[in-house]
Amino acid sequence: MFEREYSRRQLLALLPVALLARMANAAPVRLLALGSVVHPAPRPGITAARVLTANRLTNRLAEPVYAMVREIPQVIDGIHCYCGCAGQTGFHSLLSCFEGDGMAQHCQICQGEARLVHRLNSEGWSLSGIRTSIDASFADAV
């Protein structure tokens, strides 16, 4: 689905997990992941003030996604990030990935989630519906 670069050490560490998931049939693992994700509540009054601007990005290809995020920070703030950063200190939501050092500019999962959220929001989907779609599309990324 999305390409992600891994070091040799990371691949070797993931190999046993991948083999176990394959042997145990990946479908139950996916259902477990879907049921265990809790999307954050959007923070009242959240703005895009901390989202990196185009002149602060080192990856110019990420500019369109950052512009999308700046349009709907209150929606993006209510979405769980599936790239693995959600457990880090200071991270609240997918919006956090586009703030600070802007790690999302190098992460296809963060960018993919943001693009999908932006599209669904522009089509009039509810936050609940967007969350369900994100879960169905990105739960396998875990």
For 86-117, what is each residue's pLDDT tens digit? 677 778 999 999 998 888 999 999 999 999 99
Q: Hey, CA dihedral for 101, 43, 110, 89, is it positive or negative? A: positive
pTM to 2 decimals?
A: 0.73
Distance CA 2, CA 15 (A): 18
- Block residue for tokens 């943001």: 114
Q: Which of 69, 80, 74 is nearest to 114 (CA)?
A: 69
Choice between 140 and 66, residue whose per-residue pLDDT is larger:
66
